[in-house]
Amino acid sequence: MTILRTLINDLNRLSRFQFACKYVFPLLAFFMTWGALGNFYTLSLTKKDLIANRGEVTTINTRLEFGTTQYRRIKYYPIIISLEHSSKEFRVRDNFKDWFNYLQDKIQSGDTVTIFTRSRFDALISWGKKGDIYKIDKNGTVIFPLSIVKEYNRSQALILGVFALVLWLFFAIYLVTSRQ
């Protein structure tokens, strides 16, 4: 109850910016820090760390999926690949749509491929889905390299890290100035 009273008291007492510096920015900074660290963690993944899913392709096509941001619902169109004898669906996120035509030309229904995905733990700490594709091999040839996903994750980690740093900085400045 004391925490709730303090929150309500601060809501009435502090300016909007001070309230944001004290409560909102640290929360956002925490999640952005988690995202940055999770993406940096994925940079250390190797083929040995990934789960190999080998099978015959039953379907490969784009599919409409929905997600949400803080303010609106968003649409995206990843490639979904299904393998025979597997109830899982694997997806190439639409962040890699430049690869879609190439992948759909190289992989047809009936082809045998090996799809590499992360473990449930790795997906959780890096804000992804377990079925996100990190690498695809077909007949011993790399069709979708791990380096492409790592490069994207590197840029995401840097962006999230910079925003987190700015928000932590606002929080630190608030702490220093509020004690004076």
CATH, residue 95:
2.40.50
**pLDDT value, residue 67:** 67
Identify the pLDDT of residue 51: 93
- Amino acid 69: pLDDT: 61
Q: How many domains does the chain have?
A: 1
**How far is 30 from 45, CA to CA, in rounded Å?**
23
pLDDT average, residue stretch 119-135: 87
Percent of the chain with pLDDT over 70: 96
The winner for highest mean pLDDT among 18-27, 69-78, 121-130, 141-150 is 141-150
Whether residue 135 is contained in a domain is answered as: yes
Within a domain: 17: no
Model confidence pLDDT, tens digit, residues 137-164: 999 899 999 999 999 999 999 999 999 9
Domain presence at residue 13: no
Which residue range forms the structural domain that includes residue 112?
A: 47-146
The overall pTM is greater than 0.85: no
Residue 4 lies in a domain: no
* Short-list 171, 127, 142, CA closest to 21: 171
112, 138 Cβ separation under 8 angstroms: yes
